[in-house]
């Protein structure tokens, strides 16, 4: 076959802008909002978003093949076979979409397919479900990712048809596959966040605020090896790891993704999220309970990043589980079960970041204090970070991050030997209010936390550069295991970092006290004068 001339994908129809996509798709969500709850329409909308994207990408690639061959002088008869050559698509990271799974076909029959040739009428929900089946059949990597829910009784078929019509105005392609994926990825994350807010506490099961995820990733910097999340939700930790690699021009295939998720619908969200971002991940053949069955029992991980559900009272607890090396967690709280499971997964030299409720840093109930003491004495705790309040819209519980390291000696993981020490960071004063109910960490806040940790370990931070570590009163302090033991193994940063130093304004303290005292007495005199004037006026009224 002769080499084909390349055709600029920008010649294709212009893609929707991010604002146009968000406005269009959220308007689409409104179509179903009144007929089903947030968790249901989330699945419906996100499934359609993905179907639209894969179809747009397919049609764009189809047009490129046609233009390239036509530019080489091929006629339609010669071009036609290659237009249906699956390899021409998959080799360019484009999913193969069978004819009746393409968006144009669905849009043409948005009100259903009339009965014909002895076949009964099919509503649009049946056609979309069939499109999902065809797409998965042609692309095995999508197995388990796509929801087959469109012909259920709780889906209003008239509104579903209107959704299909609305989506026609959205376009993901026009700037190449990579840009299209980025556009889809951003839209998908935007929707996950919007749906998480709509669902309240339930939303927290599948969504971790991006600034919290970024903090874990920027501290751990997973550049190669196995990355694991035992309660992976919608896969946000994995996506952020891939973004970190892309931002620093590193190969995303250098990391291998492993995860597990208990909730079926959330597990499917994660599968779709990985597919959207072009990531191959092992999330298990089915959803599952990490405590009951570890789907990756024989795999040791280089990095673990997780935001497991806090303070679970009912969990699959077995007292003889070999993961409980540091003590059996209480039946009424799974926090230290998550922590010990995560530590059990770490390879030599591995590291982990785990979001936990603040109570985990100081609780002594149910043997938790003894487990925490054993973790400290084993020198596994590298850093404790107290985070600001209101980062999680789904819960008012204050949170922290535990960072673990299997090896704190000088070497591959840092030039400074931190054996027998723990870094405490009090970040409670960082962040900004997104609205009245939610706070987020700014880029500078994340860089400050990550930079402090990397300076402490003697590594160069990708976000903060090369820094020299020093204790900062009120913010960070390195503490020996002996001092932690003296504090009864409490790991609350505020206990160790102390108070921030007051700014020196240059005024001698004696002079400042004298000045402030004089000002205070002057205020007392003015208050007395005003009180007398008020009493006089009131007396005149009574007379």
Q: What is the DSSP string of 258-301?
A: EE--S-HHHHHHHHHHHHHTT--EE--SS---TTT--TTTT--E
pLDDT band at 179 (very low <50, low <70, confident <90, very high): low
* Percent of the chain surpassing pLDDT 90: 50
pLDDT the model gives residue 23: 73
CA 278, CA 392: separation in Å to the nearest integer?
Answer: 28
pLDDT the model gives residue 45: 82
pLDDT band at 175 (very low <50, low <70, confident <90, very high): low
Which CATH fold would you assign to the domain 9-193?
Ferritin (1.20.1260)
pLDDT the model gives residue 538: 77
In sequence order, the 6+-apart residues with CB closer than 8 A to the CB of 437 are: 390, 393
pLDDT band at 323 (very low <50, low <70, confident <90, very high): very high
Q: What is the dihedral of CA 507, 511, 517, 520, to 10 degrees?
A: -40
pLDDT band at 413 (very low <50, low <70, confident <90, very high): confident
pLDDT the model gives residue 12: 42
Q: What are phi and psi of 476, to 5 degrees?
A: -145, 150
State how far the alpha carbon of 450 is from the alpha carbons of 368, 384, 405, in Å. 28, 12, 15
Which residues pair with residue 457 across a beta bridge?
none
- Integer Rg of the chain from CA: 29
Q: Which of 289-298, 376-385, 394-403, 425-434 is least confident? A: 394-403
Instruction: Give the mean pLDDT of 50-61.
Output: 89
* Cβ–Cβ < 8 Å for 195, 34: no
**9-193 with 208-497: one CATH topology?**
no
pLDDT band at 182 (very low <50, low <70, confident <90, very high): low
Distance of CA 485 to the CA centre of its chain: 34
CA 113, CA 131: separation in Å to the nearest integer?
Answer: 13
pLDDT band at 33 (very low <50, low <70, confident <90, very high): low
Instruction: Give the mean pLDDT of 252-273.
Output: 89
pLDDT the model gives residue 378: 98
Most confident of 160-164, 466-470, 472-476: 472-476
CA 240, CA 233: separation in Å to the nearest integer?
Answer: 13
State yes or no: pLDDT of 5 exceeds 70. Answer: no
pLDDT the model gives residue 109: 94
pLDDT the model gives residue 277: 79
In sequence order, the 6+-apart residues with CB closer than 8 A to the CB of 482 are: none
pLDDT the model gives residue 11: 40
Could you tell me the residue ranges of all domains in the chain? 9-193, 208-497, 507-543
* Percent of the chain surpassing pLDDT 70: 86
Which residues pair with residue 122 across a beta bridge?
113
In sequence order, the 6+-apart residues with CB closer than 8 A to the CB of 374 are: 326, 327
pLDDT band at 363 (very low <50, low <70, confident <90, very high): very high
pLDDT the model gives residue 146: 84
Q: What is the dihedral of CA 51, 55, 61, 63, to 10 degrees?
A: -170
DSSP string for residues in 300-333? -EEEEEE-PPTT-SS----TT-TT-TT-PPPTT-
State yes or no: pLDDT of 343 exceeds 90. Answer: yes
Q: Which CATH class is domain 208-497?
A: alpha beta
């Amino acid at each position: 076959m002769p080499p084909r001339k390349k055709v600029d994908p920008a010649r294709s129809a212009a893609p929707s802008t991010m604002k146009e996509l968000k406005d269009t798709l959220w308007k689409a969500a409104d179509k179903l909002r009144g007929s089903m709850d947030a968790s249901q329409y989330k699945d419906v909308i996100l499934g359609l978003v993905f179907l639209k994207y894969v179809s747009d990408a397919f049609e764009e690639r189809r047009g490129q093949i046609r233009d390239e061959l036509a530019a080489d002088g091929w006629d339609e008869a010669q071009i036609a076979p290659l237009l249906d050559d699956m390899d021409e698509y998959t080799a360019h990271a484009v999913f193969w979409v069978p004819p009746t799974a393409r968006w144009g076909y669905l849009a043409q029959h948005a009100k259903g397919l009339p009965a014909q040739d002895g076949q009964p009428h099919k509503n649009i929900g049946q056609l979309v479900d069939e499109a999902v089946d065809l797409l998965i059949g042609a692309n095995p990597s999508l197995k388990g990712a796509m929801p087959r829910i469109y012909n259920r009784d709780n889906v209003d078929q008239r509104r579903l048809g209107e959704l299909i019509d609305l989506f026609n105005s959205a376009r993901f392609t026009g700037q190449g596959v990579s840009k299209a994926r980025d556009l889809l990825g951003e839209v998908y994350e935007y929707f996950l966040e919007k749906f998480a807010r709509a669902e309240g506490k339930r939303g927290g099961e599948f969504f971790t605020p991006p600034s919290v995820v970024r903090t874990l990733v920027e501290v751990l910097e997973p550049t190669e090896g196995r990355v694991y999340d035992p309660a992976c939700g919608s896969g946000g930790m994995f996506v952020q790891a891939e973004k970190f690699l892309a931002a620093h021009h590193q190969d995303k295939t250098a990391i291998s993704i492993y995860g597990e998720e208990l909730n079926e619908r959330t597990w499917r969200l994660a599968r779709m999220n990985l597919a959207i971002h072009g990531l191959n991940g092992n999330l298990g053949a089915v959803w599952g309970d990490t405590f009951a069955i570890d789907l990756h029992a024989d795999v040791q991980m280089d990095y673990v990043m997780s935001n497991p559900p806090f303070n679970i009272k009912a969990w699959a607890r077995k007292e003889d589980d070999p993961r409980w090396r540091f003590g059996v967690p209480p039946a009424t709280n799974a926090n230290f079960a998550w922590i010990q499971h995560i530590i059990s997964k770490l390879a030599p030299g591995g590291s982990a970041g785990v979001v936990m409720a603040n109570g985990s840093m100081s609780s002594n109930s149910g043997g938790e204090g003894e487990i925490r003491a054993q973790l400290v004495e084993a020198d596994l705790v590298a850093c404790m970070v107290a985070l600001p309040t209101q980062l999680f819209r789904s819960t008012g519980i204050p949170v922290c991050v535990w960072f673990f390291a299997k090896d704190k000696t000088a070497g591959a993981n840092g030039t400074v030997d931190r054996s027998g020490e723990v870094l405490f960071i009090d970040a409670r004063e960082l962040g900004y209010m997104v609205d009245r109910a939610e706070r987020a960490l700014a880029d500078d806040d994340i860089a400050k936390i990550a930079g402090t940790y990397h300076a402490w370990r003697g590594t160069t931070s990708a976000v903060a550069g090369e820094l020299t570590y020093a204790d900062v009163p009120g913010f960070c302090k390195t503490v020996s295991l002996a001092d932690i033991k003296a504090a009864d193994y409490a790991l609350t940063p505020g206990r160790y970092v102390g108070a921030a130093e007051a700014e020196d304004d240059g005024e001698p303290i004696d002079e400042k006290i004298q000045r402030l005292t004089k000002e205070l007495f002057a205020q007392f005199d003015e208050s007395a004068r005003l009180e007398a004037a008020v009493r006089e006026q009131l007396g005149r009224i009574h007379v």
